[in-house]
């Protein structure tokens, strides 16, 4: 839960739930906020805690929650710029450049994860020609994007809803992938962000 809230609002988050005789918390942070350091400043209020700059686990007596919240908020020094999400891309690349050979070469870099992040690409001024919400949970946006030369591209965006469907030209952050359905392989762009 903390991670999803952090992703949505780009702010450090600690979520608590009732535990055995105390509150149990899980925290997720942003690059500019060292969560472990800030928790260390409040350690007198905590039963126990552990973690690192980007995440933490906490046990807290219920009667200390208001003072804990006040101290964390009072001692933070985040600026508006630090709370503004920044997207880093590896290469600005038109969708038309991403063919099967490039996607196969990118697979050689796998597995992706911490320390080996998936490359991030971007393209601009794309029009959404078709869009529909699909999936069991109705949270996948399936699209056909069109570039300035009227070429069309299949794209998909996860964790979406009808509010995510753009109404004008968009700049996108994406990763190219291969979709295989009924034995047929097609290129599909996984959109992670609109601008």
> Distance between CA 14 and CA 3 in Å, rounded?
9
Q: What's the pLDDT at 163? A: 65
Q: What value, to the nearest 5°, has the Cα angle with vertex 164 and ends 159 and 166?
A: 145
Q: What's the pLDDT at 160? A: 78
Q: How far is CA 172 from the centre of its chain?
A: 14
Buried b (16+ CB within 10 A) or exposed e, 94-129: bbeebeeeebeebeeeeeeeeeeeeeebbbeebebe
pLDDT, one tens digit for every residue, the chain (195 residues): 998 898 888 899 999 999 889 999 999 999 899 999 999 999 999 999 999 999 999 999 999 999 999 999 998 989 888 888 778 899 999 999 999 999 999 999 999 987 898 999 999 999 999 888 888 888 888 999 999 999 999 999 988 766 667 777 889 999 999 999 899 999 999 999 887
Q: What's the pLDDT at 162? A: 63
> Distance between CA 172 and CA 48 in Å, rounded?
42
Total residue count of the chain as it appears in this document? 195
Q: What's the pLDDT at 195? A: 77
Dihedral Cα 167, 170, 176, 182, nearest 10 deg: 20
Q: How far is CA 37 from the centre of its chain?
A: 23
> Distance between CA 106 and CA 133 in Å, rounded?
28
> Distance between CA 53 and CA 69 in Å, rounded?
18
Q: What's the pLDDT at 136? A: 87
């Amino acid at each position: 839960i903390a991670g999803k809230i952090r992703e949505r609002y780009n702010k450090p988050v600690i979520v608590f739930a009732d535990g055995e005789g105390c509150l149990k918390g899980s925290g997720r942070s942003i690059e500019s906020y060292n969560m472990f350091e800030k928790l260390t400043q409040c350690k007198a209020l905590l039963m126990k805690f552990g973690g690192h700059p980007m995440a933490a686990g906490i046990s807290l007596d219920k009667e200390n929650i208001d003072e804990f919240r006040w101290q964390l908020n009072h001692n933070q020094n985040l600026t508006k710029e630090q709370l503004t999400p920044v997207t880093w891309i590896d290469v600005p690349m038109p969708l038309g450049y991403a063919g099967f050979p490039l996607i196969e070469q990118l697979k050689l870099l796998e597995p992706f994860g911490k320390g080996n992040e998936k490359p991030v690409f971007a393209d601009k001024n794309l029009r959404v020609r078709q869009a529909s919400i699909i999936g069991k949970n109705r949270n996948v946006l399936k699209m056909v994007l069109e570039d300035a030369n009227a070429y069309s591209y299949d794209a998909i965006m996860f964790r979406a809803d009808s509010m995510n469907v753009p109404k004008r030209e968009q700049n996108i952050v994406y990763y190219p992938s291969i979709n295989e359905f009924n034995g047929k392989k097609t290129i599909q762009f996984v959109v992670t962000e609109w601008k």
